[in-house]
Amino acid sequence: MTSSPRPTSTILVLALLLGSGHQTMAIETPDYRVLRQTPAFEIRRYDTMRLAEVEVGGDFERSGGEAFRLLAGYIFGDNASQQRMAMTAPVSQQPAAAREQTHRYSFVMPAPFTLETLPAPNNPRVRLREQPAQVVAVRRYRGSWSESRYREEEALLLSALAAAGITPRGPTVYARYNSPFSLPFLRRNEVMVEIEMP
SS (HEC) of the chain = CCCCCCHHHHHHHHHHHCCCCCCCCCCECCCEEEEEECCCCEEEEECCEEEEEEEEECCCCCCHHHHHHHHHHHHCCCECCCCCCCCECCEEEEECCCCCCEEEEEEECCCCCCCCCCCCECCCCCEEEEECCEEEEEEEECCCCCHHHHHHHHHHHHHHHHHCCCCEEEEEEEEECCCCCCCHHHCCEEEEEEECCC
Model confidence pLDDT, tens digit, residues 98-133: 667 899 999 999 999 999 999 999 999 999 999 999
Model confidence pLDDT, tens digit, residues 15-68: 444 443 444 446 899 999 999 999 999 999 999 999 999 999 988 888 888 999
**What is the band of 7 on the pLDDT scale with cuts at 50, 70, 90?**
very low
State if pTM tops 0.85: no
Q: What is the pLDDT of residue 42?
A: 98
Pick the residue with more confidence: 163 or 24?
163
